[in-house]
Structure 1
């Protein structure tokens, strides 16, 4: 069992190194595309695409004040964006009612595919 724990530890360390390297490469690729003023690029045998998304980041306190109904808050228990979006989609709560409880965060996703 000690060998399995040792292997797990080594793999987690390697994972951290890979994630750090991926983050650096991602930043460089996004910077390159931005400098080319393009969200799509073909580089050798690879196709690069940048996808910009807006994500809602909820303020727990503001959301709780707005949804003080214990039954609704029990469904959330915290401001989980996916749960809040589901409740809005199901018309349990309206987006107009909670529009002041979140801020929009723009996120750029990087997609790389082989041609």
Structure 2
């Protein structure tokens, strides 16, 4: 059993190292290719796109919602729950105006030909 625990520990440490290296490579690639688009590099294709994410402000959202029951359903400004409420037409996009800030998140995709 100790061997299993030791192996699990080794793999977790290795995972931390790999994730740190991946993050550094991501930062380096984004510094070199900050614009959205595709770049061919030998046998590889790097695609940079941007996603827009909304960061909701709890207080502004609470004030914008027409019914306190809706806030109880959310309990906090959870983007996933808000998106679901928009899709099911429980709330309208227009009431959310001014309750969030938009962040552009770069997304990297590397494929091999």
Place the TM-score, normalised by the shorter chain, in its bin. 0.7 to 0.9
- Structure 2 gaps of 5+ residues are none
In 2, the alpha carbon distance for the partners of 1:69 and 1:113 equals: 47
Deviations 1:22-48 (A, max 9, x none): 0111111122223xx662101111110
- Structure 1 gaps of 5+ residues are none
Runs of 4+ in 1 over 4 A off after TM superposition: none
Residue 32 of structure 2 aligns with which residue? 32
Point out the structure with the larger helix share.
Answer: 1
Question: Cα RMSD between the aligned structures?
Answer: 1.8
Residue 16 of structure 2 aligns with which residue? 16
TM-score by length of 1: 0.86
TM-score by length of 2: 0.88
Residue 101 of structure 1 aligns with which residue? 99
In 2, the alpha carbon distance for the partners of 1:64 and 1:4 equals: 49
**How many correspondences in the alignment?**
113
